[in-house]
Structure 1
Amino acid sequence: MASLSPTAPAPASARVLVASNRGPVSYEVRDDGTLSARRGGGGLVSGLSAIGPDADALWVCSALSDGDREAVRRGAGEDGVRMLAVPADVHADAYNGIANSVLWFVHHMLYQTPLEPSFDAEFRRQWARYEEYNAAFARALAEEAADGAAVLVQDYHLCLVPGMLRELRPDLRIGHFSHTPWAPVDYFRMLPDDISAQILRGMLGADRLGFLTRRWADAFERCAAELAGGLGDTRVGVHGLGADADFLRKRSHAPDVTDRMAALAAEIGEGRKAIVRVDRTELSKNIVRGLHAYAALLESRPEWRERVVHVAFAYPSRQDLAVYRDYTAEVQRVADSVNSRYGTPGWTPVVLHVKDDFARSLAAYRLADVALVNPIRDGMNLVAKEVPVVSDEGCALVLSREAGAYEELGEDAITVNPYDVTATAHALHEALTMPSDERAERTKRLAAAATALPPAQWFLEQLRALREAGPRDA
């Protein structure tokens, strides 16, 4: 395990700290050698903005690109952000080798267990890098945090940080939030015994753990009970991240979205209905089975041929991993197969776009008659929440019961078992034939549920709960 030396409370000023793999800003080196900064969005950015400029907040993140590392080298970081120049090879092992290829697979239950995983010497080498990566964050947080500060650590990339930071700075209030599902205990214990124990010790170093749904929180609690002797002094809470209605409604009516609506409407064709999905080509998103379900709809309900188009946005993700490249290629292959089998000179059944374009995604949200969100497992899934907020005419939602969003939206969605292609085809037919007044009413209720805890409030609720948590036993 990476060594950590005790750090006394430092005369630092940060009263609220966020730690995450990806930060709120990224850098590029221009041709003339100068740096350009690009700020991102999201719930954490909104949340830190909401606490105000006098809160002495700091975001600790990793330098992910050559431009980021150059910004760190030049000392060119922005106020309120500390980037860690973790060596690129260490980050690659921690991020791709462990976080995305092991922890993500465990929590999303993605392994083909007859063949994988195999926790060998290479895994142990990469795990040591994961420890090193987490230790770098723990040290930086310990250095920057004022006495008694609140620290909110984010996600599976940094699950060892709370325990490490607790050793260095027992005076801090430490929280951790999981943006993914948490594996059932029988699946979690697939990890080597010492590794699963280390992960739980790391998490239980926090005063408070947050999860997106009660289901994921319960799964963690069962792991802690069976493998770590219980929660100890750590409290567990649930905060279901909602959609940012104000931002989405304003952004979805910007001129570039209007232009893309016209282009998409032309691709769909006049008088046709649109089944829309917007996903990264992430293994858990279940895009391939969704395409098979659409083909099954066309096969079993030929009356829909030439009357409906499946608008599928499948934006490439994690293409430095072979399994993701293979999955992305399979999405393209199946889409081409559906078009080859059912297409006609005037009708392309699947309109597939693979280049990320947020304005085009919003345009599709507004045009959608049906939204298909069928992950095999998902921490939340904000697409399911965003579509009802943006939809112009009301949109029927076909939703996997394995999405975290199902807890809040299931009552007004058409629910599917994500593995059942035939049942998903039936659900698509039900959604396409839903009366317009029922669709509109369901959309209103879905939008209300989807925006119940918008990003800024989601962050502030966690911060309040962490500050109100009782002191840990000595």
Structure 2
Amino acid sequence: MSEQPPLVLVSNRGPVTYQEDGSVKRGTGGLVTALTGLASHRDAIWIASAMTDQDVEVAREHDGKPFEVEAPEGGSFRIRFVESDAEAYDRFYNIIANPMLWFIQHYLWDLSNAPDIRRHEVEAFEQGYQAVNHDLAQAVIDEIDGQEEPVVMVHDYHFYTLPGMIREARPDVFLHHFVHIPWTQPDAWRVLPNGIREQIYNGLLANDIIGFHTKSYQRNFLQCCRDLMDLDVSFDEGIVHCGDREVWVRHYPLPIDYESTRRISRRPRVREFEERVLARRREFAILRVDRADLSKNVLRGFTAFDIFLEQHPEFAERITFTAQLMPSRTDVPEYAEYLEKIEALVAVVNHRHGTPDWMPIDLKLRDDLDEAVASYKHYDVMMVNAMFDGMNLVAKEGPLVNERHGVSILSENTGAHEELGEFAISVNPFDVQELADAIYSALVMSPEARERRARGLKEIVTSRDPGDWIDEQIADIRAKHAGSRATG
């Protein structure tokens, strides 16, 4: 396989977005973090949706072609913004990708009440999801025109049908697709009409390699191909047989850029936040850093803390639960309602247990990396109790920079649990009594046990970096391109 052509990366969010004041802001989310490492590790062109009006203006200024941009956090990228029709993009994102696919892949639908799939949703798939997938597929086809043996790496749930569009135009292309969120079991996918479901699976199966964070998600996908698509599947080898083609299905756990995270922890602004954290600190500190997303299970986390305070009154006025939550998808009604429930529950817990001098829960609704890292350094307990999570990078970032041998409480349904579970307190995210008990166990744990767990977490987190993650995938691309067999 030739090394000369650059990789083509495809994701909904790019490494940067342009703001109204002309400034450039780093793209948010774990996916952007992962691909930023990839783009800096390999020669790559990054194709992404134009997310703001300013992104559209910049795309037009460059005639829709790739251009060089400096990221605020450092590093430069060649990106190509793709402008889609505004109504099509709204249908693509706010009806199909979120909430439909996101809810399916996180088991979030209350099936006795929702969803009701009508012509509105079917048209949103055809005229929204398919239209935006087509827009970015055309940009990819344009970028690889004239290249021999091009390699295209597609990312996440926004672009499940895009690979089939590219394969039809360029049968010689090598397509790799990484899914950053959980892959659910077959019955969860039966929510979708057969026609839509088959288009999604056929689009994905146009790839040469499909990657997930965990063995569990890999296994679920293989089972879906067998049960929903009636395909011949090898679970041991991780292969789906599609006619005369073999699709490799692999798992590549996403590491964090631990050196970069450590550098951030030494920033002057982080130290300023640390002074504030320490000035307000009580004897014990619990921390969670999350998006205010339904899948993150924030309400049950606060309910468990409420139970803990009720059952262990000796901790009154000695502990603070800091929750730094970034509002998420507030234009989706379910998310706006969820944020209201979070604020209401915090008010109830603080009223029930608080005193004039003490507020048990300190809720911060903002996205500030420096502030979050400052809190990482000084927690005694970190709570990650997501219902289901693709990976959860907070579960890795916190233990890396924590200076107090902080204990991690980790949901068994996070992708990170496959790697970190041995050194965390594992919890069933739906069992609030178990979570309350875990808080108590973490707080009374012996210094020796805390140190052993903290050391184990750091060793795992620093054992791989994004370069390793990328190299593992590139090695499989080379192996498959050379005709090797999958190894599962």
Query: One fold, TM greater than 0.5?
Result: yes
Q: Is 1:320–2:331 an aligned residue pair?
A: yes
**Contact 1:43/1:456 (<8 A) preserved:** no
Offset at 1:39? 4.4
Q: Which of 277, 300, 303 is the aligned partner of 1:289? A: 300
Matched residue type, 1:136: D
Q: Does 1:78 align with 2:67?
A: yes
User: 1:100, 1:387 → 2: CA distance?
Assistant: 28
SS of the aligned residue for 1:42 comes to helix
Which amino acid counterpart does residue 55 of structure 2 have in structure 1?
D
Unaligned stretches of 5+ in structure 1? 1-12
User: Which residue of 68, 83, 97 corresponds with 2:55?
Assistant: 68
Structure 2 CA distance for partners of 1:184 and 1:469, relative to 1, 3 Å: same
Q: 1:377 & 1:301 partners in 2: Cα distance?
A: 29
- Equivalent position amino acid for 2:135 in 1: A
Q: Shift of residue 444 of structure 1?
A: 1.3
Question: Which one of 87, 105, 128 corresponds to residue 89 of structure 1?
Answer: 87
Matches within 5 A, 1:9-88: 14-30=5-21, 35-40=22-27, 42-51=33-42, 55=43, 57-75=44-62, 78-79=67-68, 80-88=78-86
Equivalent in the alignment of 2:132: 133
Following the alignment from structure 1 to structure 2, what is the Cα–Cα distance between the partners of residues 26 and 164? 26
**1:155-205 Cα shifts (integer Å, max 9, x gaps):** 000011111111111111100000000110111122111111111101100
Q: Does 1:243 align with 2:228?
A: no
Q: In the TM superposition, what whole-angstrom CA distance separates every residue of 1:242-280 from its partner, at most 9, and x where no partner exists? A: 1211011111121111111111223333xx110100000
Partner of 2:164: 163
1:207-218 equivalent positions in 2, closer than 5 A: 207-218=208-219
Matched, 1:382 2:393: yes
Deviations 1:315-362 (A, max 9, x none): 100011111011011111111111111111221110110011111100
TM superposition shift of 1:457: 2.2
Q: Distance in 1 between matches of 2:439 and 2:24?
A: 43
**Is structure 2 residue 352 aligned with structure 1 residue 341?**
yes
The answer for the alignment partner of 2:361 in structure 1 is 350
Counterparts in 2 of 1:173-184, with a 5 A limit? 173-184=174-185
Measured after TM superposition, the shift of residue 432 of structure 1 is 0.7
| 1:320/1:14 CA distance change after superposition, 3 Å | farther
Q: Is the 8 A contact 1:150 1:467 kept in 2?
A: no
CA distance in 2, matches of 1:235, 1:335: 46
Paired position in structure 1 for 2:113: 115
Letter in 2 for 1:81: I
Unaligned runs of 5+ in 2: 69-77, 233-239
CA-to-aligned-CA distance 1:87-141 (integer Å, 9 cap, x gap):
2221111011100110000010000111111110110111011011111111111
Name the TM-score, length of structure 2 as normaliser.
Answer: 0.90
Residues 47, 460 of structure 1: 8 Å contact kept = no
Shift of 1:464: 2.5
Counting matched residue pairs gives 451
Choose the corresponding residue for 1:423, options 434, 450, 453.
434
Deviates more, 1:39-48 or 1:388-397: 39-48
Maintained 8 Å contact 1:43/1:459? no
In 2, Cα distance between the equivalents of 1:48 and 1:227? Answer: 35
Between the aligned residues of both structures, percent identity stands at 36
Contact 1:369 1:432 in 2 (8 A): yes
Which structure has more relative contact order (CA 8 Å, sep 6+)? It is 1
- Alpha-carbon distance, 1:226 to partner: 1.4
State the Cα distance separating 1:460 from its structure 2 match.
Answer: 2.8
**Post-superposition shift, 1:221?**
0.4
Per-residue CA distance 1:5-57 (angstroms, 9 max, x = gap):
xxxxxxxx843110000011211343xxxx44344461211112112xxx3x2
Question: What is the Cα deviation at residue 456 of structure 1?
Answer: 2.6
